[in-house]
Amino acid sequence: MTITIRTENPTDPGEVAAIAAVNAAAFDRREHGALPAALRATAHHRPAWCLVALDGATIVGHVMVGTAFLEQADGSVLEVPNLSPLAVAPARQRGGIGRALVEAALAAADSDGEPFVVLEGSPAYYGRLGFEDAREHGVTLPLPDWAPPTAGQLHPLSRYRRLPGTIAYPPAVQAAFDALEQPRDA
């Protein structure tokens, strides 16, 4: 199996549909399939860091990086990269595709001089990829009620510097995330 990772092409309707299908299947929720398009429709995603994993011509994985706001105690607000969502087709999970996508996204953020990347996710999974409890770096993330505090995570990059504060998502991004918190369809 040879997996190729490249930047997504949001102008290709077939690719957009394949990305939606991978996200819906990976999370076993139709609503997750709509998340990438909702995030793309905001001014807060970073197209160069939104990647697909291909096996031949078939999309088997997807990752997006967008912008979150880091609100600091002095009132200043910085834009920082936020990794979400990460999805791998269920039949292809546990084969290193998610790791490859995350590593490629982190490398892109690192090469652009970002100090770190934040996300909300499984500490067990993302911890293996170098993410750490964001609170250890003075950063807190808004988490849903069901998520443990350790789900707010941060990956230091080569230009890391401690920048304590609270993460807030742009309103359009928060609305896209909130849509996922709705009860499942009956």
Segments making up each domain of the chain, as ranges: 3-180
Residue 183 has pLDDT above 60, yes or no: no
Better-predicted residue by pLDDT, 130 or 95: 130
pTM of the predicted model as reported, rounded to 2 decimal places: 0.90
Residue 114 has pLDDT above 70, yes or no: yes
Residue 5 has pLDDT above 50, yes or no: yes
Residue 184 has pLDDT above 50, yes or no: no
Which homologous superfamily does the CATH classification assign to the domain defined by 3-180?
A: Gcn5-related N-acetyltransferase (GNAT) (3.40.630.30)
List alpha helices for 28-156, DSSP H: 30-40, 97-111, 123-127
Give the three-state DSSP class for 127: helix
Residue 13 has pLDDT above 90, yes or no: yes
- Model confidence pLDDT, tens digit, residues 115-158: 999 999 999 999 999 999 999 999 999 888 888 999 999 999 99
- Model confidence pLDDT, tens digit, residues 35-92: 787 788 887 888 899 999 999 999 999 999 999 999 999 999 999 999 989 999 999 8
Considering the chain, what percentage of its residues have pLDDT values greater than 70?
95
Better-predicted residue by pLDDT, 154 or 178: 154
Query: What CA dihedral angle connects 129, 79, 29 and 37, to 10 degrees?
Result: -120
Residue 88, φ and ψ in degrees, nearest 5: -130, 135
**Residue 90 and residue 61 in contact, taking contact as beta carbons nearer than 8 Å:** no
Ramachandran area for residue 57 (φ above 0: left; ψ -120 to 50: alpha; else beta): alpha
Residue 101 has pLDDT above 60, yes or no: yes
Average pLDDT over residues 17-28: 88
Distance set, CA 24 to CA 65, 78, 131, 174, 186 (Å): 18, 31, 24, 19, 16
185 Cβ contact partners less than 8 Å away, ≥ 6 residues apart: 30
